[in-house]
Structure 1
């Protein structure tokens, strides 16, 4: 039996517009920490005298730390006091960022970024907290707004990183990020409402119950598979887009590619609106429409490889559709079991992470053989799989939404 959604709810909703804004900004700053280093790899490689391939491992270790933290730290949000846990994680991320800024060698920088990945989990503890604090009729809108903030943080961190580095150097980027993390840690410590005491759960059982939730509930398995397929397409598209724009006829610089990426802010706006669709009882239908729109945008992108206008339109449409699917997936899972929200969210983010890694690998493998059109065709096939999952699990999704 699924636990009642209202079992662990506070007596009344404590989410206000100001608190929603605070959580959205904090989530954006927290998750954005994963992406500060991406535009800096060439400069870091030159500074430490390593190859750009070796510098690329900095992104890998940050993501590995993040994946580990999602599995081992985020579930603690179901038992520990999040008014202390979330600010502590943000403060630790600031410590890791300062360590990165002061690193005298490449191995120490890699160690600092591994620690940063582990601490960046604060963002994924905020979403279940919002699910607990928000009233059922406002949950979709509020969660959509917070996720919108996270998406904006990802895009803006990539774009701002290069601009800050031009003025302060790559070490200055990490210093600025550390300052932002400290400020938000203080704001979150003051802003998060007091929580009622919750029963303790042995750590081993806490981790086991993540698997148990996936094994027990068909709606979880279906949602994770759907999310992994869609996130694979998202990662495939953006990886291949970098290849496309850095080659003829575009030959864009990294800064120019970053500016193109800002078109993805449309996805953040879509995420906010997707929450309202959930609140209106249109979650499952909206996902079906978004899957079709995603398929169409891939076809448009594949046909318009030589037109930056067409590519920008495809970016806006695809990002908006995929983020709509992503938010509605997350809301479906947040409504399942109030006592396991953090653990189920851990499974969701881990599944998306695996899908994203598969998507990046597929893009790298297909591009040399079939180019942009080939990658878009493979991505369309992946959306086809997602459509099959949606059709097969639609009734289950409808029941959980109701």
Structure 2
């Protein structure tokens, strides 16, 4: 394996070392980009396996659907913690070893979830698995650093498309596998696949050693302090992270409410049918690819505006969708596209903001993003118990309003690109 160092080069835009490589070069060839995208998708897929299974899990473990919805919250919270505590390490340690080790740990966590005898145990293993699945953002940051500035939008778009495809297929395949082998079957399957892709990455991914000598690297406490401090030092990061967090809160709240709505008395769908409904979320990966190309063309602000508008329109449609399947479909499509556009455009702005601490910027951004998702999922479960679908809509509409307000704030700033 070759060793790449993140040493400065003359590449424009602050690219360093392998950052001068595009998707068609040895730094991040098409095959490697595909494998890294698959690994990214599988890493996060385990966090979404439970979405169509809430009714089935509640029955198997002797709890209520509202309590089972805490699995969604646990996954988001665990992932957010991993993003904050693990991803910054990619700025100071060898990234292949970090990514592969995390993927292997996530595979073990999925197997432990499949063997969980009770909801508390399942919640604990879910948090542990999600924590390790932060490997996804280690890979995204690595890919962004390997890409030339003119290709970064496409590379990030490809990897985030892989991530969103993993989320999509997790919901679809999970429901189908549960129909055949019970609620544990999706977890066992994901554990095996994740272990296999970790082994493949160990062979295919080049080593990437930080440029700083050992004595010049910050210690772990200083690393975390500098990561959190970026929110105060970089106003653009704060605005973009808050916007993404609100979009995630509404989006994860929507999926929590949809699983309970479709599996409840109003629709009475099976887990496989709920999973297949998730195929509609295929609009997200497509939108992410388009957003990446538009960002490379200098239209990142227009992409953000389109995302904010789509999110607002989604909740206007979903407000009348409790017993109207066509409106549910339309609202889901709008929400999915809006979420993808806001996320991808924000990442493209932030990856260009501070190339020297790219992983720390991505860490704090994605921590806030998934923290919003965890909060949204948890609140949606509580609101469902009190007011049903109307409570979920109130949450989503409030979050959408916040996204629009922050978009207006960001529009007044001179953000990169």
TM-score by shorter chain over 0.5 = yes
Question: CA distance change for structure 1 residues 69 and 173 in 2, over 3 Å: closer, same or farther?
Answer: same
Q: Which residue of 2 aligns with 1:95?
A: 108
Other structure's SS at 2:176 match: helix
Q: Which residue of 1 aligns with 2:177?
A: 164
Residue 219, structure 1, aligned to residue 227, structure 2: no
Give per-residue Cα distances to partners, 1:333-360, cap 9 Å, x unaligned.
1111122122111211221123223333
Q: Which residue of 2 aligns with 1:283?
A: 300
Residue 319, structure 1, aligned to residue 340, structure 2: no
Q: Which residue of 1 aligns with 2:358?
A: 341
Task: Quote the offset at 1:301 in angstroms.
Answer: 2.6
> Which is further off, 136-145 or 253-262?
253-262
> Which is further off, 272-281 or 165-174?
165-174
Residue 201, structure 1, aligned to residue 201, structure 2: no
Residue 10, structure 1, aligned to residue 18, structure 2: yes
> Which is further off, 135-144 or 374-383?
374-383
Other structure's SS at 1:195 match: strand
Task: Quote the offset at 1:90 in angstroms.
Answer: 0.8
Task: Quote the offset at 1:147 in angstroms.
Answer: 0.7
CA contact (8 A) 1:152 1:268 kept: yes
Unaligned segments of structure 1, at least 5 residues: none
Residue 356, structure 1, aligned to residue 373, structure 2: yes
CA contact (8 A) 1:12 1:135 kept: yes
Q: Which residue of 2 aligns with 1:299?
A: 316
CA contact (8 A) 2:241 2:365 kept: yes
Residue 182, structure 1, aligned to residue 182, structure 2: no
Unaligned segments of structure 2, at least 5 residues: 1-7, 22-26
Residue 262, structure 1, aligned to residue 279, structure 2: yes
Question: CA distance change for structure 1 residues 238 and 105 in 2, over 3 Å: closer, same or farther?
Answer: closer
CA contact (8 A) 1:73 1:121 kept: yes
Instruction: Give, in whole Å, the separation in 2 of the partners of 1:45 and 1:242.
Output: 13
> Which is further off, 121-130 or 156-165?
156-165
Question: CA distance change for structure 1 residues 372 and 295 in 2, over 3 Å: closer, same or farther?
Answer: same
CA contact (8 A) 1:5 1:336 kept: no
Instruction: Give, in whole Å, the separation in 2 of the partners of 1:247 and 1:105.
Output: 22
Q: Which residue of 1 aligns with 2:267?
A: 250
Q: Which residue of 1 aligns with 2:156?
A: 143
Count of residues paired in the alignment: 398
Instruction: Give, in whole Å, the separation in 2 of the partners of 1:85 and 1:241.
Output: 36
Task: Quote the offset at 1:365 in angstroms.
Answer: 5.3
Question: CA distance change for structure 1 residues 364 and 61 in 2, over 3 Å: closer, same or farther?
Answer: closer
Counterpart mapping for 1:80-119 below 5 A: 80-103=93-116, 109-119=122-132
Runs of 4+ in 1 over 6 A off after TM superposition: none
